Structure formats: structure tokens, C-alpha cells
Structure 1
Amino acid sequence: MNKPISILFLVLILFFSSCSNSDDINLKPITDDSIEVINAFPNLTFSRPLDLQSPSDGTNRIFVVEQGGAIKVFENNSDVSESSTFLDISGNVASSDELGLLGLAFHPDFDENGYFFVCYTPTNDLSVISRFKTMDGESNVADPNSELVLLRVPQPYTNHNGGQLAFGPDGYLYIAMGDGGSGGDPDGNAQNLENLLGAILRVDVNNTETGLNYAIPNDNPFVEMDNARPEIYAYGLRNPWRFSFDSQNGNLWTGDVGQGEKEEVNIIASGGNYGWNILEGTSCYNAQDCDDNGTIAPVFEYGHGNNDKSVTGGYVYRGSLIPELNGYYIFGDFISGRIWALDNVSGTAVTSKLLFETGLNISSFGTDQDNEIYICSFDGKIYKLVMQEGNLP
């Protein structure tokens, strides 16, 4: 994220950009004041929650990742009074600033094999992606000694570590890696296909290849290219802070944190180059003119007015509690705490509607087994989008 933390907010300034790939049409207009943000679990508090996930195992549990290295689990019930520790690797995690336990993904067959995957920083200069397993016969407790390291990615600086993990509809594990940090990508990592930085990676965790604890999908875009890492699915990203798959059509959405001018939202395509550090959003970075040939523009960008300075990617809403949000991409800003709904309509432009000015430091969004959207905040609380009582369908 790499932004100063403050909680000021004023009025909305939005910038529009082109949209080229979406399957959703005829979205219903959002009614003003019909939706609200509530404290989803008022009896629970967490330490710098960075991620919220729910396994597709029918248990209706919520798992919250704390930056310091612990994962908490609890029943998805607003009256729940306590959580338990699912995994604690805090002794092996460097967690200052943008370091820490950064992401969690459950294997699609978690209910059968107990496998889950995490991304964390054991030191200031390394990111690790590992697989763990639950204890035999105990799905609420993980075995900290079951770690199998998939990837070790050197980090030249302490910021821009990415860390989001998610399984796509194809069954492969997708991994977000930032550009390695500092400011302006001084080493040119995001445009360099020979390293894993500034990219979305895609690996097969159900198979292995010689020397690897995973396999490379044979349709990854750079498998046949010399001097390119075959794990790379897309590149040219600065710090992809939270991506997600649309559960209806499989589109891969990500927020990408900007440098000093613009924040952007992208729909990620195989082999796509999203421009950093040639471009920041749709503008040339550090140049009056630049060659943007072969790059993919964000579907949406916004400027740094009104204390909006660090995008937090979210989810396309596919729940049932708020029918009028169906098909909208919900995302926010970590610094200002504002939350928007972005339409997902095929055409020449997209528009965004400001939903809330929360004043929260929004670190992540998440969904439960019913695709309802939750918000992780650095005040230690988990919030939820709901219909106001007088507007219930």
C-alpha cells in the first residue's frame, strides 16, 4: 500500500476510462441510502486484519488473516462471541509496515484434503508462498509443521509485496506479486519477464515438475518464451492489492495501487501488460510522451484528490441480500475509507457511484459462502454490506 495513513474525506472526484471486457448488462440503478455498512461481528476484534476468506466446504465459517501471522476462525454468526486460532506462524513472520501474513486461499477440495495456501514475509527481503494442512480430524486447527514451500520470491525493498492468493475457476492458484518496492519501480521489475515481480502468477498445485513443488500450466502465456518466467500470467503491475474472480463469469479483477497520481482497477487477461512503470493508469509515468503499444488500459482509474490514495480491490457482488448491487464491482480506498460500486457493463465507458465515506482504513474485502461482501478494517473490526431495514426486498 505504501501510503501515509490518515482519515480525511471530502467529496467525490472520479475519472473515467474505457472498458472492453464484461459480460454483464442492464444493471439496475443503485438507490441512494438503501445500503449500509454494519459491524458484522460486534463481539470480535482482530489485530490489523488483512484478509477474509471462507472455504467452499458448507461449514459457513469465516477465516480472518492478521498481519502479525495468525489466522482466526469463527462461525459466521453476528452473535459469535469468540474466535479460535486456526494457524499461528507469527514467530516466522516479519510484519512491520507492508510486511506480514498477507494472503490466504483454500484448496477447492479443502473439505477433503485440508490444504490451504498462504503468502507471508519471513524476512524483510523475501516473500514465501506455502501450503499447509489441517490437523487430522480437526478442521479448525492447522498443523504449523505441515508447511510445504512452493515459492520463495526475493524482495529488493520492504514495500509492494502483493500477497493475494485465489484459486481460479480453472483450478489453478493465482498469486499477486508487487514490483519489489521503493518508488517508481527503480529496477524495472514490472516490465521484466525474467523475474516474478509486478505480476500475477498462475501455478498448478495439484501436480509437480522436476525441481518444483508445483507445475506450470501448459497454457500459461509465456511458457514457450525464452527469458521469461513461465509462472507469469500477466505483468506490468505496481502493487496489485487484492484481486478476485467474478463467481458468475470468471473475470479476474484487481486493484493496482498507484504511485503519486492515479489508482486503477483492471480486468486481468492472460499475457496482459498493464503498463507500469511506463504508465501510471492511462498517463505516461515520468515522461511527456511514452510508448504504450501493447499495454492494456485500466477499466477505471481515479485521482488523488479528496485523500483517495491507495485502492483496495474488491469483488463483483453476487450475493442475494442486496439485489440492486448484483453485477457491480465493489471496491474502496485504504486511505480515505470510501467505497464505490463500479458498473460492469459492456460498452465504451464505465461509471462509478460512491456508496460510503466510512473513514476506515480498508485493508481488504472478502466474501462468505453466500457471496455476501465483508470489509476488513485496521480498527480491528469486520464490516458487512447490507440493505437498510426499511429497504429490504
Structure 2
Amino acid sequence: MPTSRPLLHGSILRGALGALLVCSYAAPASALTLQGEAAQDLTATVFATSLGNPVDVAELPDGRVVIIEKLGAVKVFTPGDEDPEVSNISLVTGGQNEQGLLGIVADPDFAKNNFIYVYASVVQDQNNRHQVRRYVLGADNKLGVMKPVIDMGLMGPANHNGGGLSIYGGFLFVGVGDTGKNNNTPANHIGSCLNLANGKVLRVKLNDDATLGQPADDNPLMAVNLVTGCDTSSEMDDDPFVMRPPEKRVYAWGFRNPFRIWADPMTGKLWVGDVGEASLEEISLVEKGKHYGYPFEEGSKKYTNTQQTFQPTGTCMGMTPASACVAPLLDYTTKAGPDNAGAVMGGRILDGCGWPDKWKSRYIFGDHEQGKVWSIDVNATRDGIVADSKKDFANTNGVTAMRMGTDNALYIVERGAGSVTRIVAKAAPEATPGSCLTTNPTPGGVGGSGGGGGATSGGSAGSAAGGTATGGSGGAATTGGSASPSGGSGAGGPGAAGATAAGAASGGGSTPTSEEGCGCRVASGRGSAALGLAALGAALGLVLGRRRARGG
């Protein structure tokens, strides 16, 4: 079994190397080198270096960049200032395992509410160790008021903790790991226990404090009374399945460690990188109410009844509710990495404003252990991939995240190098933060409160096509005119949501009729900084990093 898969597979960090990486300012600026077409079309510049185990990043529409580190540091970089403001979230782990501060995402309406969300190991009780919290990030770059979004039910032993966060249509998606128990034959079946949150992707409400963190009304188990479950335990192996009331926050199940996830704002489809056990790493296109196989299947590898003594008849179809195991879009062997290891890092489609068209139909993903980032072509409907289209994108040192900002740039986090690299298209127009809203458009949003005719504040309904946002009272024609694509309860179009809304909610930027100009707008527009990143290895020290000059 691999022994070098920190944070993702529950193994020990490569000791001496890890110590050097997090304790020395002499760490390499970045190991990232672009490859092939990426080297021809794109420019990479180190954004920040000498970081102590960076795990995730969020670029905000006002130009600030927030980098989180595994041991709890939240570092906020302001344009023109090399020294970040540092806040710390108190954790219950010393960094010797996969626990810690693991994920961050900014609210699509950050320009109005200043909310960021984090996934962290903060409670001594192992049965409720992980929380998803909402913080107000002040103009002084310090964390302000905290409100829990999820504070119960996320078990957190040493390994497979998850940490993926993404927002779509007014809902927060959360990737939660299955709690561990590494074994060459999968021995942990908690991902199929539908009364527990671990080993799942959750979907919860965001848009109203009164219902914050509650299950989405159309989650798949909302109307189900009893499901296939198991008694609460952090490491489920050969215990029998039993019928139990459902965990209603569950959106999809059958995962091992969905560490990085991304909701496509154009389709609402959720792309999930699920870290494998001993055979295969996988990228899945996740839909509501589906079983993604684990532990009955690992990628395209199927385990037999003799290997899975705990499985019900028919594997995935033997569960209640029944769902056939869904095959991944792609999988690949773990054995290409050092020590026969692999740890997939889910990414995103490269909808960069002003980027060459060919990149806008490519999904990138990486592998923490193999030190690679690849691209693969997606089909025209963005719900599948093109066979034999995988290409090298970059060589890295411990990639943990890949996220687009509202500033026309792709940010890649490298744990091994202790750095974040900023990548832009050579041919792209220079864009100010928040100006390229087609880069990461956000559907739905908080619909607004316009009150008829020429109402003000018709909402930040979002800038993408569709979603399930219901909006506020400013959108529907019953309270004031008809909602346009950029405000109220309608599905947003590209461009910023308007501040005029209800009547003819038109202040949010027009929907471009072609790719010309790619929807770039002045910096006053609202953009999503829903950037999630990837996993890090176990950390030893906490270093106050200094930012390198920002390029591009």
C-alpha cells in the first residue's frame, strides 16, 4: 500500500523533505513549469511563496487573494502590498495527519456581504470534528463574525477528511471523506451508509440565516423515511448494514475522499476528484441521488462479494434507495507516482475571460503525488469528455488546487513548493479584479428585494446560465415587472448582477452575443470568487510568507 500520500491517504509526510518545505524560507519559489500547448499560450508567474503548507485559495472581486494553510492560517494579500494580514482559526490538530484547515470558498455575493466559508477540524469530539464556518472578512483583512454552516455530523479521524467546497444556485456543496481505514481491498463502507454524512457530497442552503446549513428542499433523501445505514462509527468495516433514518443533507454518495469539487456554473453539473485507495484515481460528473461506487467499485475496478463481506445483494442496487453504481468520467492508475502512489486533485473547465477558445472546452486536473497537471477536452454539452484527449498542462511540486479568479487568472497551489502560481493567457486583455465575470459566473444567488416597477436592489441573482435560484421578491413579475436574466429569480446570464433589479433588472451587464470581449467589464461588477483548492501534506511549522511580485 502506498506510504507517501499525506493529507489525502492518511500516510505520514515524507519527514525530512516535509520539514524543509514548511520550515525554511529557502523553499523553491515554484516548481511549476507549463508544458506543451500551455507553455505556448499561457504565462505563469509566482504569486506567493514561502507559504507554510498552503491548501486552498480564493481570489476576491476587489482584488484581494486569500490563501489558507493547513495549520489554520488565513493569509489575505492586498494588491500592492507584499505582506499579508494573517488571522488564525484555532484547530484541534497538530498537523500530523490529514486534519486541519482544508477548504475555502468566497460567497458569490462577496462584494455585498463579505462572506467566506471554510472547512476545518475544530472540535475535540471526533464524531463532530469538522465544521463548515462562515466568516465576515473585513476591509482590514481580518476575520470577523463567525457563524456555523455545518457544525454537527462530520466525523474526523486521522484520514480521509474531505474539504471540497463549491457554490451553485444559492447552495453550498461540501465534499466529505469517508474517515479512513486504508486497505488494499476497500474495507470502509461508510460512503454507502446513508444515515451518515461522511463519504458523501452534501448540499445545504446559504441564502437565509434562518435556514443556513439546512438541507436543500429537493435533496434526494428528503422524502425518504428509512435508508440503508449503519451504526455510528468512524471506521466502518465488516459491521452489517441496518435501516436508519436518512442524513438529509446528502446530495450524492459512494465516495472515498472527494477532496476537491467544482460546480460548473454553465450546467450545474458537479465535477468531483475522488482520491482512490490502492488501484485507481477518478474524476466523476456527479448528479443528485446517485451512488458513485465506493467501496463496491474503485473507479472502473469492481470488487466481488468475497472481497466485500459487508455488501448487500446487488452491490449499489442492493441499497435503499437503490442506484446503480455510476462509472467515473475518467480514471487512471495510482502506480505511475512515486512509491506507486497517486492522489487526484479535481480542477475545473478553463472558462478564462479572453483565453483562447480551445482552452474554454478543457477541464484541468492534477495529481498531488505524481506532480502533474493535465487537461482533457470536454464535449459540447459539458457533460462528458473526449476520448484520448488528455494532455500535459504543467509539472508541479505537490499540486493541491486549481481555481480561476475573477481577474482573468488561473491560480495553482503547490504544497511541495509552498507557493501559489498565477497563470494568464498571453493573448488575453488585461483585466482588473472582478471584471471578467464569465471566468467564474454564479447562477442564482440571493435574488434581491426589489419592490416593483423602478425598484432598487433587485438582487445579485447571478451571472450564469441557470441554476436553481429562487431569488427574492424583486424577481417575479408579481412584485414589479419582469425579471431579466441578470436579476431576481431568473437564471442569470453572463456578466455582473445588477443593482437595479426588479422592474427591468438591467443593471447587471448585458449578455454578450459572441465571445468578442468575453464579457469583460469594469471592476465595479460583481464576480464569484468561488475558488476551491486542493489538498496538502501534513505540516510541521507555520511560516509567515512574503508575497512575490504579482505578474500578468
**Shift, 1:320, TM fit:** 3.2
1:314 aligned residue (347, 350, 358): 347
CA distance 1:375–1:191, shift in 2 (3 Å): same
**Shift, 1:238, TM fit:** 0.6
CA distance 1:288–1:317, shift in 2 (3 Å): farther
> What does residue 296 of structure 1 align with?
326
Q: Is the 8 A contact 1:321 1:372 kept in 2?
A: no
- Tell me if 1:381 matches 2:381: no
1:235 aligned residue (253, 269, 279): 253
Compare the two structures and name the one with the higher strand fraction: 1
**Shift, 1:171, TM fit:** 0.8
- 3-state secondary structure, aligned to 1:34: helix
**Shift, 1:40, TM fit:** 2.8
CA distance 1:388–1:248, shift in 2 (3 Å): same
- Tell me if 1:340 matches 2:346: no
Which ranges of structure 1 fall in alignment gaps of 5 or more residues? 7-29
Question: 1:106-121 to 2 correspondence within 5 Å?
Answer: 106-121=106-121
2:405 aligned residue (356, 365, 368): 368
**Shift, 1:81, TM fit:** 2.3
Letter of the 1:312 counterpart: M
Q: Is the 8 A contact 2:191 2:256 kept in 1?
A: yes
> What does residue 102 of structure 2 align with?
102
1:286-342 deviation per Cα after TM superposition (whole angstroms, max 9, x unaligned): 668974551111001111232161101111100035413112111100001111101
- 3-state secondary structure, aligned to 1:195: coil
> What does residue 276 of structure 2 align with?
258
- Tell me if 1:326 matches 2:364: no
1:210-236 deviation per Cα after TM superposition (whole angstroms, max 9, x unaligned): xx7533221111101122111000110
Larger Rg: 2
Q: CA-atom RMSD, angstroms?
A: 2.8
**In the aligned structure 1, how far is the partner of 2:65 from the partner of 2:369?**
25
1:167-220 deviation per Cα after TM superposition (whole angstroms, max 9, x unaligned): 11x1111111011112256442101100001111011133467xx753322111
Q: Is the 8 A contact 1:321 1:386 kept in 2?
A: no
257-266 or 90-99, which deviates more: 90-99
**Shift, 1:118, TM fit:** 1.2
**Shift, 1:155, TM fit:** 2.4
**Shift, 1:134, TM fit:** 3.1
2:44 aligned residue (25, 29, 38): 38
Letter of the 2:164 counterpart: Q
- 3-state secondary structure, aligned to 2:112: helix
> What does residue 191 of structure 1 align with?
192
**In the aligned structure 1, how far is the partner of 2:262 from the partner of 2:385?**
23
CA distance 1:187–1:208, shift in 2 (3 Å): farther
**In the aligned structure 2, how far is the partner of 1:59 from the partner of 1:348?**
34
Q: Is the 8 A contact 1:300 1:350 kept in 2?
A: no
1:2-21 deviation per Cα after TM superposition (whole angstroms, max 9, x unaligned): 16767xxxxxxxxxxxxxxx
CA distance 1:202–1:33, shift in 2 (3 Å): same
CA distance 1:208–1:114, shift in 2 (3 Å): closer
> What does residue 51 of structure 1 align with?
56
Letter of the 2:414 counterpart: S
**Shift, 1:76, TM fit:** 5.6
CA distance 1:98–1:321, shift in 2 (3 Å): farther
**Shift, 1:152, TM fit:** 2.5
Which ranges of structure 2 fall in alignment gaps of 5 or more residues? 1-7, 15-35, 226-244, 308-313, 318-323, 428-552
2:291 aligned residue (273, 281, 289): 273
Letter of the 1:353 counterpart: K
- 3-state secondary structure, aligned to 1:365: strand
**In the aligned structure 2, how far is the partner of 1:223 from the partner of 1:320?**
39
117-126 or 306-315, which deviates more: 117-126
TM-score normalised by structure 2 residue count: 0.59
> What does residue 20 of structure 1 align with?
none
Letter of the 1:381 counterpart: S
Question: 1:74-153 to 2 correspondence within 5 Å?
Answer: 74-75=77-78, 81-85=82-86, 87-90=87-90, 94-123=94-123, 125=126, 126-135=129-138, 138=139, 140-143=141-144, 146-148=146-148, 150-153=150-153
Q: Number of residues paired by the alignment? A: 355
1:128-160 deviation per Cα after TM superposition (whole angstroms, max 9, x unaligned): 11222234xx252212x6343532334263111
**In the aligned structure 2, how far is the partner of 1:371 from the partner of 1:285?**
44
Q: Is the 8 A contact 1:104 1:116 kept in 2?
A: yes
- 3-state secondary structure, aligned to 2:111: helix
**In the aligned structure 2, how far is the partner of 1:179 from the partner of 1:201?**
13
Q: Is the 8 A contact 1:54 1:63 kept in 2?
A: yes
- 3-state secondary structure, aligned to 1:41: strand
CA distance 1:387–1:108, shift in 2 (3 Å): closer
2:68 aligned residue (50, 61, 65): 65
